[in-house]
Chain A
Amino acid sequence: KQEVTQIPAALSVPEGENLVLNCSFTDSAIYNLQWFRQDPGKGLTSLLLIQSSQREQTSGRLNASLDKSSGRSTLYIAASQPGDSATYLCAVNGNTPLVFGKGTRLSVIA
C-alpha cells in the first residue's frame, strides 16, 4: 500500500528565504506526483504536476523535482513571501488514485 510522508509537518521562515519542502513515498511505481497548496478553510489549488518520466517541473518561483527510484520529491520555493503561507500537500498517482501526504504547514514571517 502506497504511503506518502511529508517532513517537516510545520516550518516557519523569514521573508525572502529560499526553502525546500520534502515528500517521500514507499512505492516507486508511480505515474505522476502532484503538489497542492491549501489555505485555511479553503480547497486545494494545484501547483505543479510532475510526470514519472520527468525530473523537474517549474512554475514561477516554484520548482518541483522527482527522484522516482528513491521515492522522493521536493518543492523548492524561491524568495519566499508572506503570501506563500499555507499548507502544502503532495499526492502520488499510482495503481490507485491519488494518495496524499499530511502536508507541511508553512509560515513566512514578514
Chain B
Amino acid sequence: NAGVTQTPKFRVLKTGQSMTLLCAQDMNHEYMYWYRQDPGMGLRLIHYSVGEGTTAKGEVPDGYNVSRLKKQNFLLGLESAAPSQTSVYFCASSSQNRGEQYFGPGTRLTVT
C-alpha cells in the first residue's frame, strides 16, 4: 500500500495564481484532513472531510476550498494565492472519527 500520497511535492506560485493540491489514500479511510505547518505555529487544520461528498472547516479555512468527490481523494484549492499561504501542506486520513491519523509526505508551497 502507498498509504497517503500528495501531489505535487513542491510548487512556486505568483500572487493571484490558483492551484489545486491533490491528496490520495489507498486505505479506504472515511476521514481526510488538510493541515498547514508554519515555523513557530505548528500544524493547523484547514479543512476536513468525514466522508465522500462532505467537507467541513477547520481552524484556518479562509482562502482555501476543498472537495471530496471520491472517497480516496481530497483536493485543496487556492483560488487566488497570497504570500501568507506560503507553507508546507500536509494531508492525513483516518479510518474512524478521532482515530489514528496517517500523514502524507507534504507539499512545500511558496507564493511570491
B65 on the A face (CB < 8 A): no
Count, chain A residues at interface, CB 8 A: 20
Distance (Å) between the CB of A27 and the closest chain B CB? 14
* Minimum-distance CB pairs A-B, first 7: A44-B103, A93-B98, A102-B42, A100-B43, A43-B103, A43-B105, A31-B98
- Contacts A97-B58, A100-B42, A102-B40 given; does A46 touch B90 at CB 8 Å: no
Inter-chain CA distance A97–B41, complex, in Å, is: 17
Question: Which positions in A face B, CB cutoff 8 Å?
Answer: 31-32, 34, 36, 42-46, 49, 89, 91, 93, 96-98, 100-103
The A interface is mostly helix, strand or loop, or mixed, namely strand
CB-contact partner of B45 in A44, A97, A102, under 8 A = A97
B45 and A98 contacting across the interface, CB-CB below 8 Å: yes
Known: A46-B101, A97-B45, A97-B58. 10 other contacts (CB 8 A): A34-B101, A36-B103, A42-B105, A43-B4, A43-B106, A45-B103, A46-B100, A89-B43, A97-B98, A100-B43
How many A-B residue contacts, CB cutoff 8 Å? 47
Distance (Å) between the CB of B4 and the closest chain A CB? 8
Residue on A nearest B33 in the bound complex, by CB: A97
Most buried by B among A36, A96, A98, A103: A98
B102 on the A face (CB < 8 A): yes
When distances are taken between beta carbons in the complex, the residues of chain A under 8 Å from B98 are 31-32, 93, 97
Inter-chain CA distance A45–B90, complex, in Å, is: 12
Distance (Å) between the CB of B11 and the closest chain A CB? 15
Residue on A nearest B104 in the bound complex, by CB: A43
Inter-chain CA distance A10–B2, complex, in Å, is: 32
**In the complex, which residues 22-55 of chain B have their Cβ closer than 8 Å to any Cβ of chain A?**
33, 40-45, 48
